[in-house]
């Protein structure tokens, strides 16, 4: 058995925006014996999973499941629809959109990276404090009268900043420009936390992963694909084999995969889908909205800036907290980890050291979030950050005044 340091008593607080805490029910499901991935039982499991996951993406079309982290599913999405030299229009909302952009470049597609210019009084890039501006996409597509742009790629929930972009608005922008580009959306951290509608919003490829809203360990990821994306994949010249949709779709018809799938993670996925559908997607979304509001009440009471500067796109999944200039946010996180056994998300890329992220997703409740905020507040104070007031009190007040509408225990 792998032993790290002496393990502290109680549970570690894993309050990063993914991996999120894995419910015991899912851990138990994953501990069942591994079965023959070509045997009869497996086909039943596979078909059930492939139908269930469609409900989570709100699609009637196929969802490909890869044994890979989310990054693999990003590559799969590009490799299946693009050809070398194609032009892809991407939008910079933060670190994850930047990584996807870097990947596209490495794969040999030409990219354009839209963004809002400049930095603001916090010193952070404005584009890392806002959601996708659909009007910029529409303007660029209108200029592309010869339809060189193959796809528009955006991140739904930008996990490095805490902004959840309006995907329906991006669809409307593409339609208003009368442009045939495919719409590709990363909702790796948005799925099963924030409302997402693959079919209704006309998304062609939706990319997601297991370790965020689905409450699973890392290791599986998804491409939900439209009929238009499947057509595009037949023309695509990007070299691919393992990621290619065609053979997977063929095997999936009977509930199998062309290679050995991630059997025990799929047990977990089966359990996660059941849990989420039992609760009801709308209840899941409302629960996350409410947590986001409670955590933001705390950050406002501290008097620290919420990284997302546009309240219309506040994320229900995580909240980015900007620390005062000259204070190393990573030192605060380190102190909180050592003193209170809690992990908070670090500032990534362009905002490293300038902010930390509080995850409020998946298998949490009001009291785990209150403990999380207590740990954060103690860490801020111990680090000498001047806070205006108690965020813990503000969040308690918010949660008391706004009872959760569903999923609570019945009165005795
Ligand atoms: C976590 C995440 C990724 C990366 O996924 P991995 O599973 O780490 O490969 C990409 N995009 C977003 C928005 C994410 O939150």
Distance 4 CA to ligand 1 centre (A): 26
How many angstroms separate the alpha carbon of residue 188 from the centre of ligand 1?
Answer: 6
Q: What is the pTM of this model?
A: 0.97
pLDDT of residue 8: 83
Q: Collect all residues with Cβ–Cβ distance below 8 Å to 66 and sequence separation of at least 6.
A: 72, 73, 76, 220, 221, 222, 223, 243
- List the pLDDT tens digit at each of the 412 positions of the chain: 566 666 789 999 999 999 999 999 999 999 999 999 999 999 999 999 999 999 999 999 999 999 999 999 999 999 999 999 999 999 999 999 999 999 999 999 999 999 999 999 999 999 999 999 999 999 999 999 999 999 999 999 999 999 999 999 999 999 999 999 999 999 999 999 999 999 999 999 999 999 999 999 999 999 999 999 999 999 999 999 999 999 999 999 999 999 999 999 999 999 999 999 999 999 999 999 999 999 999 999 999 999 999 999 999 999 999 999 999 999 999 999 999 999 999 999 999 999 999 999 999 999 999 999 999 999 999 999 999 999 999 999 999 999 998 888 877 6
In tens, the pLDDT along 307-350 reads 999 999 999 999 999 999 999 999 999 999 999 999 999 999 99
Cα–Cα distance for residue pair 151/204, rounded to 1 Å = 9
Class of domain 13-21+280-401: alpha beta
Among 70, 73, 132, the mutation site with the greatest number of ligand 1 atoms within 8 A of its Cβ is: 70
- Of 229, 163, 235, whose CA–CA distance to 202 is shortest? 229
**Distance between Cα 74 and ligand 1 center (Å):** 9
Residue closest via CA to ligand 1's atom 6 equals 70
CATH of 24-278, one of 3.90.1580.10, 3.30.300.20, 3.40.50.1110, 3.40.640.10: 3.40.640.10
- CA–CA gap between residue 114 and residue 313 (Å, rounded): 18
**Which ranges in the chain are annotated with CATH 3.40.640.10?**
24-278
Give start-end residues of each CATH 3.90.1150.10 domain in the chain: 13-21+280-401
| Total residue count of the chain as it appears in this document | 412
Q: Could you count the other beta carbons within 10 Å of the beta carbon of residue 216?
A: 28
Determine if residue 129 is labeled as part of a ligand binding site: no
CA of 127 to the centre of ligand 1 (A): 19
CB distance 159 to ligand 1 below 6 Å: yes
Q: Which of 322, 293, 297 is nearest to 309 (CA)?
A: 322
């Amino acid at each position: 058995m792998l032993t790290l340091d002496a393990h502290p008593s109680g549970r570690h607080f894993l309050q990063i925006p993914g991996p999120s805490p894995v419910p015991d029910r899912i851990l138990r499901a994953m501990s069942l014996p591994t079965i023959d991935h070509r045997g009869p039982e497996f086909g039943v499991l596979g078909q059930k999973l492939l139908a269930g996951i469609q409900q989570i993406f709100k699609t009637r079309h196929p969802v490909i499941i890869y044994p890979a982290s989310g990054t693999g599913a990003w590559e799969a999405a590009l490799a299946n629809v693009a050809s070398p030299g194609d032009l892809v229009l991407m939008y910079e909302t933060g670190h994850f959109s930047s990584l996807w952009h870097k990947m596209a470049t490495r794969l040999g597609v030409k990219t354009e990276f839209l963004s809002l210019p400049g930095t603001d009084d916090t010193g952070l890039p404005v584009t890392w404090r806002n959601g996708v501006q659909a009007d910029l996409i529409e303007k660029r597509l209108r200029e592309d009268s010869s339809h060189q742009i193959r796809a528009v790629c955006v991140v739904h929930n930008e996990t490095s900043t805490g902004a959840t972009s309006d995907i329906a608005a991006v669809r409307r922008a593409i339609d208003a420009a009368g442009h045939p580009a495919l719409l590709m959306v990363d909702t790796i951290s948005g799925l099963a936390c924030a409302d997402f509608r693959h079919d209704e919003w006309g998304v062609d490829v939706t990319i997601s992963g297991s370790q965020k809203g689905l409450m699973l360990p890392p290791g599986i990821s998804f491409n939900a694909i439209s009929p238009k994306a499947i057509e595009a994949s037949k023309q695509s010249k990007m070299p691919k084999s393992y990621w290619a949709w065609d053979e997977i779709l063929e095997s999936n018809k009977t509930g199998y995969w062309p290679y050995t799938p991630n059997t025990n993670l799929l047990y977990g996925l089966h359990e996660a889908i059941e849990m989420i559908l039992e609760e009801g997607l709308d209840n899941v979304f409302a629960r996350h909205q409410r947590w986001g509001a409670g955590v933001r009440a705390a950050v406002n009471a501290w008097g620290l800036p919420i990284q997302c500067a546009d309240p219309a796109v506040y994320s229900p999944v995580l909240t980015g907290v900007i620390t005062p200039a000259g204070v190393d946010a990573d030192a605060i996180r380190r102190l909180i980890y050592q003193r209170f056994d809690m992990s908070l998300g670090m500032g990534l890329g362009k905002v490293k050291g300038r902010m930390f992220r509080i995850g409020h997703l998946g298998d949490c409740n009001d009291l785990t979030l209150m403990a999380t905020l207590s740990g954060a507040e103690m860490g801020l104070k111990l680090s000498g950050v001047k806070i205006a007031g108690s965020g813990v009190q503000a969040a308690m007040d918010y949660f008391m005044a706004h009872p959760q509408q569903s999923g609570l225990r019945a009165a005795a």
